[in-house]
Structure formats: C-alpha cells, structure tokens
Structure 1
Amino acid sequence: MSAIIEVEQMTKTFRLARRRPGMLGGIRSIVNPELRLVNAVQDVSLRVERGEMLGLVGPNGAGKSTSIKMMTGILTPSGGTLRVAGLEPIRQRRELASRIGVVFGQRTQLWWDLPLIDSLRLLRHLYQVPEERHRANLEQLRETLDLNEFIDTPVRQLSLGQRMRGDIAAALLHDPELLYLDEPTIGLDVVAKARIREFLLQLNSERKTTVLLTTHDMDDVETLCPRMVIIDHGRKLYDGSVADIRERFGGERTLIAVLDPAELDQLARDEQDQVVLPTLPPGVRLVRSEGPRVWLSFARDTLPAHELVAWLGERHRLRDVTFQEPEIEDVIRRIYEEDLLLQEQGVTV
C-alpha cells in the first residue's frame, strides 16, 4: 500500500489578541492589544495508508479539527510538511478538493432551504462530475444510505440523522479517494449511529475508500477503526490499536466465573445473602455474586488471567468462565483525566 496522507512535524500556532487594561476608569484598550501565542498543534507526524480507517481521538481543544483543516487545505500550517493524495493541501487546494470528501458533523454543505435532491444535483456542477457517473453514484447512495424517504424534503426539515446521511452522500458523489469525517455521529440516536457505521464499513470494504475519523464516541472507533491516534494539547501521544491502549491503561479486568450449583450450599454468605469465597489471591477482590455466578476484579499487572482461572479451578468446580474488559471510553477518560500518556512521555503542560 502507498500512503495517502504523509505529515511530518505539522505545527499550527495561532496569535490571539488580548486587550490590555486601559488607563481611564478601567476601560480596556483595543488600540494596543497584548498578543499571545497558542500552539494548537505541535510537531505532529502521521502516515495513513490507502484503504485504512483511522480514528483521531482527543478531548475538546486537543487539535483534532485543526489538524483536519490543515490536511484539507482550509488552514495553513505554521510549520512542517504535508502531502495528501500526492498534493500539497494549501498550494493545490482546488485539485485536492476533487479527490477528497469532507463531513463536519456540526456544519452542512447542503443548501438549507432546498430539497435534499436539489443540493445533491447542484454538487454535480460544483465538482464537475460527468452526468452518467453522478447518476450512478446518486442511485447507489440513495439505496445504501436509505435517502429515498426524505430525498424531496427541504434540508431544514430533516432530522439530524437524516441530514448527516445527506451530508455523507454529498461528500461521496464525486468518488473521493479519502473521506474526512469530523464528529459524524455527534448528537445522533443509537439507530442513526448504527446505520452510518454500517455504511462506512461497507464503503471501505467495497470501494477501498480511506477514512479518517475524529470523534468523541469511542464506540465509533472500536467499531470502525483498527488503528487510532490520540492527540492532546496539540501533541500526538499514541498511535496503535484499541486493544493495545486497553491493555496498557485498562486498569482492572473482571472474571465472571460460574460455579457448580451443588457447591453453593458449602460456601459462606454475607448479610446480603451473596456468596463469599473463603480465600482469594493477592490483588483479586470479589465484586458481587448472583446465584452460581461470581464477579472477580483483578489488575492486569497483578495476576495473569490464566493463572487466576487455574487457581479457581483447583479450589472450586467451575462450569464456565468469561472475561469482561473495561469499556474503552472509560479507559480514554482515565487517560485524559490523569494525563497518563503525557506523563509516560515526560511532557509538562
């Protein structure tokens, strides 16, 4: 595979004006403002191969949207080099626009007062898509995104989920090689999210379209993206799989063991009539029990999972065991709140 995005030490610094205190009656001066430099993105390097689905993750203000805007040619980088689809986004912005699709979840490229179908037809002329190709793409998108039920409805009357499906169709009418999605499922209900995720997986599988997704919804990343990049305070802190980040920072795992019902009468009970196991290995605690099921919590670095199963098997008759991993959203929240990746890299903010 060849890279469709190549970014080296991308940086974006904004100059923000802050008014100085005035001399008269506390009035603030706007004539001679104090300038402050804000590093929105700092030395980010990234390589995305053709056909990848990549999740770009970070809290508000981390630099996700700023990075997307530089990679699409909307913003000029303060430093570093960028190439997208072999082009320089700022210098070759118009040519790049015909090869990428962009969807900003909180903005629309559709005409507010026109029926959705009119917007989709007008976009053919903006992108100069041949009529036959446009007709074929529109027909396929109407079917796969299920647009027909509201295709003649003015955009302003569409629900958020319907409008988002219309925006995704608009971004794909010209067969882009690369699709940027900035918070595409924000505010959507469970059904609308599932429909969009299913479509994106199909798009990537059938057309091999590269997808770069920014989101706060970790279910989006787990469902769609084998690879994720975490940025915070403008820095790239992690580039790898969801499984690896859970393994490194997931904290405690849960073992759910099903005991032989015949053994229950031999075990002690607490005041809530829940089973109490007489002994447990160091670092393992009984969270709760329900009938023959017991939930045991243990830290990853305390005891390997197979050793805990073996320990239980020597002392109890086990009918079944399963493991429950921590929710990835909880893991990412913990990383942000405790600055775990920043500490790991020795970064002071």
Structure 2
Amino acid sequence: MIEMQDLKKDFLVRVKAGRLRREKRTVAAVDGVSLRIGRGEMVGYIGPNGAGKSTTLKMLTGVLTPTSGTVSVCGLTPVPQRTTLALRIGVVFGQRSQLWWDLPLRESFALLRHIYRVPPADHAARLKRCRDLLDLDEFMDTPVRQLSLGQRMRGELTAALLHGPEVLFLDEPTIGLDVVSKQAVRSFLAELGAAGDTTLVLTTHDLADIERLCDRLVVIGHGRVVHDGSIEALHARYGSRRSLVADLETPLPDGFTLPGTTLAAVTANGHRVTFTLDSATAGTAVAGLVAAVPVRDLSVLEPDIEDVVARLYAER
C-alpha cells in the first residue's frame, strides 16, 4: 500500500552569518527513507521533534514534493495524482481540522459525502458505525466551534473514514485529550485495525498509543530510519530489562546481593526493593529473594517503552 525508496526532502533556510549578513543553508528534513507497508498493517512512525515525521506524512499525502527518491501510496504517485489519491486515503492532523467551524457536526458529514461522492447507503452505514463506536449522537447537532477537543477529535476521525479510505494517516490524534477521550479513540482505532481493511500509519509522542495499536514500530532520527520492527525487537536491541519489585517484611541485610540482578531502588524505609533483571530469570530471582528474606508481596514489571525510546533518541 505504501512504498518509499530513498525518499528525501531538503529545505533551504537562512541562518545568521554575522551582524548583518545571512547565508543560505540546506537542511535535510528527510534523508533517504526506504519503507514498504502492506495492506492492513498498523505502523507507528515516531521520532523526536524535528526528526522528519510530519514531513514524511506530507510527502505521502501529496502536500509536499520530495526533493529526490520515489514514493507510492495505493499505487499512485502522491503529488501528480493528489486528487485521485485523496479519494483513497484519510488524514487526521491533531492540530488541523477538516470540519466546518460554524456548522453542526451532522452537516459537516453531509458535505463530505458530496465532496467524496460517496453513495448515500455507504455513507449512512459508515456513519452509523462511527456514531456507535465513538458515541457521537449526543453532539451531532452541535456546531463544531462549540465541541470540546475530545468531541472534535472523534468527529475528525469520523470525517476521515466516511469515504472508506484504504490508508489512514494519523498525526498526533490524541494530543491534548483527556483520559476518557483517549481511551475512546484508541478503542475505535484498535477495532478498525482488527478488521484488517485499513492500513494505518500513526505518528505520536504518546507511546501508549503505539503499544496499544501498532504491531510494527518505525523510529526516525535526523531524517533516517534507525529502527524498523516490533516493539519486542526494540526492547531486545537496546537491552531492555524487566524489574522485580518486592514488598518485604524486614529490610534487606547489609551487603545483600541477588545473583544476575542489580539493586535499582530501596524505598519505604527499606521495605520495598526494586531489582533489575540482568541475566537472571524472574523465577530464579524470586526464588533467591524469598529464600533470603520474608516477602509480603512482589511483582515483575515489563520494560517501559518510553525509557527505551528515550535512550535511542539520546544515542542518536
């Protein structure tokens, strides 16, 4: 569905080169990205600010022309075939709106049906599904300008899906949303992905979105792909380790060590300890700890993806 080969985008910027003089400098926002994304894949596309995420999406949707390289979406070249491509993709930018500010949500959806030339029966069926899954009925007749951010974002998702796109591009779809609205959006997108009909490309700084929704993670830094694979592969590549957290009846003895682990933290007056599992398995570490001190409760924590990605960003 999406293919990029050595895709590049350069921008010409002016930088200060003296008290009164400025000189031109070329900045590579995207610097040789090559990716293939198949039908029905849910791909997280992440990176630090300025890494080239939004620039890539704008080239995929035909908003920007690549400096060099090739790009294909749904078998079409985005810029010269932008109008045809628009009928086959959906786009949601978290800080941009495709709804009419002064119209009720219902009328915005009706206008979009005519713009995309969607048959009335198909439009009604898709709208009903979105209304049910995103709980739109209570504000369908409210002007867009009066909607909360969470309500508007649910409207934006619906607007992007009413014409049945084959590919859905999401740029920060949960930015600024409260916990309830985030949960509603994530649940909707998870069900959409499970159906397997829509390819989804998601850029976000909220890694909980990635963990919940995406099977594949692409990390970009300085315009280049630095990781392409599963979240599990990212953990394995950067040495993520699980943690053992235990609540003890009595504090650890002085100088206590647990083979294959590192004592990471001691809190609650010595009654709560956290060990990082280096080479030891969870079972071995638990057995060793229980044999040494009385344990009230314990848990094994999976590695935090935010820590892994932060380390990756720092390295790059």
TM over 0.5: yes
Amino acid at match of 2:150: G
Q: CA separation of 1:276/1:226 partners in 2, compared to 1, >3 Å: closer, same or farther?
A: farther
Aligned match of 1:324: 301
Q: CA deviation at 1:102?
A: 0.3
1:1-349 mapped onto 2 (5 Å cutoff): 4-18=1-15, 28=20, 34-206=23-195, 208-249=197-238, 251=240, 253-257=242-246, 264=249, 274-276=251-253, 279-281=256-258, 284-285=262-263, 287-288=265-266, 294-298=272-276, 300=278, 302-312=279-289, 314-315=291-292, 322-336=299-313, 338-339=314-315, 342=316
Alignment partners' CA distance in 2, 1:46 and 1:91: 21
Q: CA deviation at 1:207?
A: 5.4
Alignment partners' CA distance in 2, 1:279 and 1:295: 12
Q: CA deviation at 1:153?
A: 0.8
Q: Is contact 2:247-2:273 (8 Å) kept? A: no
Alignment partners' CA distance in 2, 1:251 and 1:174: 42
Amino acid at match of 2:141: D
Q: CA deviation at 1:171?
A: 0.3
Q: CA deviation at 1:317?
A: 6.6
Q: Is contact 2:252-2:293 (8 Å) kept? A: no
Amino acid at match of 2:208: D
Structure 1: 5+ residue stretches without partners: 343-349
Q: CA deviation at 1:241?
A: 1.5
| TM-score (structure 1 length as normaliser) | 0.82
**Other structure's SS at 1:149 match:** helix
Structure 1, residues 119-166: CA drift from partner, whole Å, max 9, x if none?
Answer: 111111111111222122222222221111111111111110111011
Alignment partners' CA distance in 2, 1:297 and 1:317: 16
Alignment partners' CA distance in 1, 2:196 and 2:311: 36
Q: Is contact 1:289-1:295 (8 Å) kept? A: yes
Alignment partners' CA distance in 1, 2:212 and 2:70: 31
Q: CA deviation at 1:178?
A: 0.8
Q: CA deviation at 1:256?
A: 2.7
**Other structure's SS at 2:45 match:** strand
Structure 2: 5+ residue stretches without partners: none
Alignment partners' CA distance in 1, 2:277 and 2:247: 20
Q: CA separation of 1:189/1:99 partners in 2, compared to 1, >3 Å: closer, same or farther?
A: same
Q: Is contact 1:227-1:240 (8 Å) kept? A: yes
Aligned match of 1:345: none
Q: CA separation of 1:250/1:184 partners in 2, compared to 1, >3 Å: closer, same or farther?
A: farther
Structure 1, residues 203-248: CA drift from partner, whole Å, max 9, x if none?
Answer: 1223521110000000000111111111111111001122232333
Amino acid at match of 1:308: A
Q: Is contact 2:258-2:289 (8 Å) kept? A: no
Q: Is contact 1:256-1:293 (8 Å) kept? A: no
Q: CA separation of 1:181/1:286 partners in 2, compared to 1, >3 Å: closer, same or farther?
A: closer
Alignment partners' CA distance in 1, 2:110 and 2:190: 25
